[in-house]
A = this chain, B = another copy of it.
Amino acid sequence: MNAPPDRPLAADLSADLSAGLSALERTDARALRLAIRAGRHHAHTVGLAPGRVQGNLVVLPQALAGDFMRFCQRNPKPCPLLAVTEPGDPVARELGEDVDLRTDVPRYRVWREGVLEGEVDDLRALWRDDWVGFVLGCSFSFEQALLDDGIPLRHVAEGRNVAMYRTSIPTSPAGRFSGPLVVSMRPMTAAHAIRAVQVTSRFPSVHGAPVHFGDPAAIGIADLSRPDYGDAVDILPGEVPVFWACGVTPQAALIVARPEVCVTHAPGCMLVTDRLNTELAAF
């Protein structure tokens, strides 16, 4: 759910986030959630609460929750489940102190029958007793690990959204959910790609190791300069494209499943948790 095609993130990513947030709110996950809950931050969460896990949000009626959970279980690389709430309970207790899925995401998208209906800043008026919340790992966690390891990421350096592509690799279907694997692509040197395999392998719950590198046609991508979602970046001489399973995959599956109603976070406007990125490391 990182970035649907209709809403590139480039502008958002370069926007000034400091307006309205104190230094504490920019760095402390709990303070940031309270600021968001108070309606003082509706923008993306890139770079906020550094070191803390940010997650993709999917909210579904209980009738479809079993299908979606099996879909995630069968496709753990694109859909790494960090938490699933009790039906009707908006609090994700495993993710931190008082994490309320109705209020703690800066902006939500509401979908009906697989079609985007609109965006809201608060779910309290919409929340239903049969809703189940799913929080999925997002690539912010492993990108931080790559940057910390000295591996440059071009889209970050250029203030763009990562390039994402629908592939010819099918997901394993479950109930009404199916669709293509969506991947994100980061160009890097072979040496960095090898190190990136090592670094991201430690983070299976935020997409883990790459799924492919090199020839895009081998996974059904016709033209790297025309991503299906996000922004294209240059691939320089001596670099190879490296592809990771992407959190947009469940969005493609939600469009196929056409749930009566579904809520996701708006692109880049993630759920900020108290969990440390380092806690997600395999070891």
Contact = CB atoms under 8 A, between A and B. Distances in A.
Interface stretch (A51-59, A66-74, A156-164): A66-74
Contacts of A70: 69, 84, 86
B66 A73 contact: no
A66 B74 contact: no
A94 interface: yes
Contacts of A174: 86
B175 A86 contact: yes
- Chain B CB count within 10 A is highest, among A62, A83, A94, A283, for A283
Nearest to A201: B283
Interface string A23-54: 00000000000000000000000000000000
Interface string A108-140: 000000000000000000000000000000000
Interface residues of A, number: 23
Contact of A283 (B83, B94, B172, B209): B209
A190 interface: no
Interface of A: 62, 65-66, 69-70, 73-74, 81, 83-84, 86-87, 94, 172, 174-175, 198, 201-202, 204, 209, 282-283
9 contacts: A66-B87, A69-B69, A69-B73, A73-B83, A73-B84, A74-B94, A86-B174, A201-B283, A202-B282
